[in-house]
Structure 1
Amino acid sequence: MVYTRKDVSTLTRSERRRFVDALLEVKRRGEYDEFVRTHIEYYRSDGEPGLRVAHMAPSFLPWHRRFLMDLEEALRRVDDSVTVPYWDWTRDRTTTSVPWTEDLLGGTGRRSDRQVMTGPFAYGNGAWTIEVGITDTEFLTRDLGRRRDPIALPTAEDVERALDDPVYDTAPWDSTSAKGFRNKLEGWGSGRGSVSWRTHNRVHRWVGGHMVGGASVNDPVFWLHHAFVDLLWSRWQRRHPSARYLPARPPARGDAQRGRVAARNERMPPWDVTPGEMEDHSAIYRYA
């Protein structure tokens, strides 16, 4: 049966509670930390050898689509009424708007160490200890809006610039691809600092704390953010119905990206699934 992902701002009080309770139970069972480990393992940059599938590559979108589905399956084993909501950061743009409420994700971190002190994922509540990460920090951290060096969330105009590109991705199929929808949405730009953080990447930086880097899954907002990114891919597909995932075939012999990016019909680890098989989600879920 096809289920529905809703805008987090439209969730009822009961739906918020069920979503949070399911996340906490998946964490208690030890399953959540496996998602963190997976993302850290596959968070590879252009400069690293071997196949890149999660980031800085065409498979950024289908990889995270499957990743979201796996988390959703874990949540629905706890409570089959739960789906992953999406956070539309082009509209809910302040540090106190949804989803940064006491009954959902809690708020920003305190000034001294960025520790989240409010909401169900605060360390002091005892149910959300960071077990897997890049550092030894046991508590969830955030710095919404970057207080010392503020940045703004991406705008609807930023999203439109990505949605307007009729080509899915282009060579060299990495963080330097200047054209193509994938990198315009993933958000690797030229230059240094905040000017190079665009769309998806800028949201990670805006949240700050654990959301910066491979261990970003430790913050539950990761899923709400990527659900919106997935929704934007769906919107792009509807706007450009004849466009497909690229590259359709592996890069040619001698190409620096051969063996480093997944073509449409190549396996996308850690699953036995290809990007092409992830292009259509309509038989599994839809967006409200």
Structure 2
Amino acid sequence: MTVRKNQANLSPAEKRNFVEALLELKRSGRYDTFVTTHNAFIMSDTDNGDRVGHRSPSFLPWHRRYLIEFEQALQAVNPEVALPYWDWTADRSPTSSLWATDFLGGTGRSRDGQVSDGAFAVTAGSWPVSVRVDGRGFLRRALGAGGRQLPTRAEVDSVLAMPTYDTAPWNSASAGFRNHLEGWRGVNLHNRVHTWVGGQMATGVSPNDPVFWLHHAFIDRLWAQWQARHPRSTYLPAATTPNVVDLNDVMRPWNDVTPADMLDHTRHYTYDTAA
């Protein structure tokens, strides 16, 4: 069984194995297919039209399936690798261990955001940004620029306390746990982290930055915690809802995966502490 660990607790060998598996997926071209998929959905998901991966109830099960597929791709390179998660309520600084040269590298230079250290810097020659929204072919970051702050534990707890998964109109205006976690309302958890990192993470091609996977693993862990705290609450809506994915509807781009299939993460992986 795959066990996802807090990145702060990874051994040097686990960090090295994770980085090397990422680099191999990049060399093979497989990595960029994940970036392309994410960008296609974030561009097509709209509040008033068909929406699957974002701004909708299926945000959480869609990304859960997406991460499983990516984790399986990593494990095809090295079966010992699992997705780590980044607890940004604890590791809140640009000097935190995940930004070290031996792991993800640090922030970008002020002139153009270019990351200049670590395996994913353009100077290392192994991480060209090919699926992009502008002409810059290098990884960019601006950690905490403009005085931005990451969400706090108290803010996370306030969202985990919400008893209802989602509500009409099932988009970025909805109340409920999903939308507050996604970040279109309230204290803004998921979206705020993307903008705190900056660079590609603030765009539809956010998976170009490897930290995307650690961030979304933590978002998934928070969903698992919410599920454990509210066992009588479940995915909504249940059926016959226009433009969104109901409990037993198939989620594109897969032709055989529904939100119901994604409710029990323990069929696929566990986390290193009880969720």
Matched residue, 1:13:
12
After superposition, give the CA deviation of every residue in 1:144-166 in whole Å (9 maximum; x if it has no partner).
001xx211000011111110011
Match of 1:171 among 162, 168, 172: 168
Return structure 1 stretches of 4+ with deviation > 4 angstroms.
none
The structural deviation recorded for 1:139 is: 0.3
SS across alignment from 1:4: strand
SS across alignment from 1:99: helix
CA distance in 1, matches of 2:127, 2:227: 37
Aligned residues: 270
How does the TM-score come out when normalised to structure 2? 0.96
* Partners of 1:19 and 1:83 within 8 A in 2: yes
The structural deviation recorded for 1:48 is: 6.2
Matched residue, 1:275:
259
Matching residue's letter, 1:265: N
Matched residue, 2:120:
121
Equivalent residues in 2 for 1:77-226, closer than 5 Å:
77-146=76-145, 149-177=146-174, 179-189=175-185, 198-226=188-216
CA distance in 2, matches of 1:3, 1:117: 32
Matched residue, 1:238:
228
Matched residue, 1:46:
46
CA distance in 2, matches of 1:187, 1:138: 28
SS across alignment from 1:83: coil
Matched residue, 2:248:
265
Matching residue's letter, 2:119: P
Matched residue, 2:269:
285
The structural deviation recorded for 1:46 is: 2.7
- Structure 1 unaligned runs (5+)? 190-195, 252-257
The structural deviation recorded for 1:276 is: 0.8
Matched residue, 1:254:
none
CA distance in 1, matches of 2:139, 2:106: 11
Between 276-285 and 121-130, report the one with greater CA deviation. 276-285
Matching residue's letter, 1:224: L
* Partners of 1:167 and 1:180 within 8 A in 2: yes
CA distance in 2, matches of 1:123, 1:36: 18
Q: Percent identity?
A: 52
In proportion to residue count, which structure has more helix?
2
Matching residue's letter, 1:284: H
SS across alignment from 2:46: coil
Matching residue's letter, 1:226: H
Matching residue's letter, 1:187: G
SS across alignment from 1:286: strand
After superposition, give the CA deviation of every residue in 1:27-76 in whole Å (9 maximum; x if it has no partner).
10000000000001111343563x21111000000000000011101100
* Partners of 1:250 and 1:262 within 8 A in 2: no
* Partners of 2:115 and 2:122 within 8 A in 1: yes
CA distance in 2, matches of 1:92, 1:61: 23
SS across alignment from 1:282: helix
* Partners of 2:180 and 2:187 within 8 A in 1: no
* Partners of 1:45 and 1:56 within 8 A in 2: yes
The structural deviation recorded for 1:133 is: 1.3
Backbone CA RMSD of aligned residues: 1.1
CA distance in 2, matches of 1:45, 1:284: 27
CA distance in 1, matches of 2:177, 2:187: 16
- Structure 2 unaligned runs (5+)? none
